Every structure is written in C-alpha cells, then in structure tokens.
Structure 1
Amino acid sequence: MNREQRILEAAEKLFFERSFDGVGVDAIGKEAGVTGSAIYRHFDSKDEILAVLFDQATDALLLRIGEPLDDPREELTRLVRAHVEFAVGHYRLAGIWAREQHALTAAYQRNVLRRQRRYIDRWIDGLDKCYPGHSNEDLLSTIRALHALIMSDATRPPGGKRAPKLQTLLTNLAMAALEGLAQPAAQATG
C-alpha cells in the first residue's frame, strides 16, 4: 500500500472514530506512520483528505449500481441494495459520508456535490418512474430519508455475523418505506 492510501485509511479510521473536527493532521500522520508534515506532500489540507474520502464513497456507490436497468422496479431495488451493501460493507466510509458533509469547505463541497449528483439523479429517475407524480423536492426528501434509514444502524462497527442479517433487514425496511410514495401526500388542513 502506498503512503497516500495509508494516509487516507488513517484519516477514514480517525474521522469515523472522532469526527473530522476532532482530528488533526498530526494524528492522521501518526496513525499512518508518517509525520504530519509529510501529509502535505500528498494532500493540500485535511479538507482535501476529507474530499477524497467523499470521492471514494461516491465512486464505490456508482460502481455498485452499474449501468441503469430497463425495469424501473429492478433499478430501484438495485439502488437500495447497493446503498445498503455500501453502508454495511464500508461502515466507516459510509458513516463519514453520512455525517461529515457539513465539514467540507465550500470549494470542496461544490465539487463533491457535483460528483454525487450522478448518483442522486439515478435515484430520482428510478423513484419518478416507479412513483410518478411527485415533485423533485419530494423525491429528494425521500432519498435523504431512505439514506438516513439505511445509515442509521449500518454505520456501527460490525459484530460478527450481523452483516448479512442487517443487510436483509435494512433492504426490507427501505423497500417498505418506498411504498409511502404510492400513497398521495396528506393534504394539510387547518
């Protein structure tokens, strides 16, 4: 493993355990087996390290979903399963992805959001084909809610044989939650 990858793995571990704000460059260097100053030969800042971790998360998700499927229900099922597999299989990276978006500086946030857009667009397209008639805003709210549901327990460190059962449970819960889109939104009364 090269030094850059060791730095990224050290940062992933520490950001997950302590949060982005709770970790300094020196701690990352120590965990990676290099000096804090050596990190700057590979990354401009701790912010760039976080942005690269977000890119890795996005890449992992895009790789898992592959090319779009013709059947919208199969596509949506694939999206759910891929997100669950990512969250359970890469719990530290998923945890960082779920809770540290606010820590990105504006320049990195724009770039990360632009890259994540491809993934979110696939969700919007799948949801719209399976549950037509909802606004983009409602579909985005649904995606955020599903991702939060999936991440809620998946980002805890795995415990032995828990992963396969957890994947099944989270997939079933997410698929059941999607059925909320089949019902028309309740009209506000007042």
Structure 2
Amino acid sequence: MRAYFMDDIPGDQRLPHDSGRETSEDALRSIGVLHWHIPIDGAGAYKDEVLKVAKEREYKNHDVIVINKESLGDEFESKIKNFYHEHMHEDEEIRYILEGSGYFDVREHATESWIRCHMSAGDLLVLPAGIYHRFSLDMTNRVRTMRLFKDEPKWIAHNRGKETDANPFRTQYVKTIEVQ
C-alpha cells in the first residue's frame, strides 16, 4: 500500500490525485488506521494470516465482493460515486484486497486533509469506527475484496454533517486520537 496526501485538484476520483507528499504507517496509526500486507499465494496460506488478524480483532464472519462494470452493470457509475461520499461507520471497517486495486481516503482529523491509501492485492486495512473516509476504484475499474465482520454486517454509512459530527462513535473516535 502506498499512502500520501491528496492534491486539491478537481477531476475523476479514480485518478491518483497525488500531492507528492507521502505519509507513513506511523502517521496512519496515529489516526487509528492499521495496515498489513499479506501476499496472495496460490496455496491459500494467506487465508490463515487474514483469519489470524480477524481472530485477534474478534471478527467472526466474512464475505467477498466484486466491484467492476460487469458485476454492477448499469449502476456502475452511480455506485462508484456513492462509495465516494464522505462518511463514517459505527463499526470498524476491515478490508482485504484479493484482486485489483482501489483507494481508501481517510480524513486526517487535525488538518482535515485527505490521506489516500492506494491498495492492491494482499493489502489489509482497518479503519476505526468514527473515522471519516470514502472509497474509490482506481483506473483499473475493478476490485475483489474480502470484507470482515464482528457479527452480521451493519452497513450503515453516516454521511458527514452536524448530526454525524455529534454521533457518539464519532466523538469517541475524536477523543481517542486527541489523547495520543
């Protein structure tokens, strides 16, 4: 995974929007974002490593989704735009990229800057509950991803706004990173 601050130049969300300013895994950890690289191997040993992380974080279920033009059909463009709305969840979001690539953008709370995490096969990312983020495919326009869940998936996206800023999960997240 490569992480960097985004530029502020308008344009297709699937373009790199690279400001040229890298960010470190330590900086990501300081805002609660965790990353592992677990290479995909033909023998399937990667599954044991992913499940080890899942067990440590008390995740019990998972599924695999495919996001591309073929799987989404006529809804492809609207779905991609919808994923790109800034939002937060009341649960951790954990994703493991099996094939393809895409971007998870996370807000750095102190500066309000976007940090872009370009992920590809073998990257596993954990976003804490309450962090503002969004997702976009890159120009490959395809990704196959394992989603992990503590119990049953609760895919409620709380779009950014005054009400969401006051959400208890958001306020707890902000308190946690401000203490560090």
Q: Pick the TM interval, shorter chain.
A: under 0.3
- Please give the TM-score of this superposition, normalised by the length of structure 2: 0.26
Instruction: Between the two structures, name the one with larger relative contact order (CA 8 Å, sep ≥ 6).
Output: 2
More helix by share: 1
More strand by share: 2
- Please give the TM-score of this superposition, normalised by the length of structure 1: 0.25
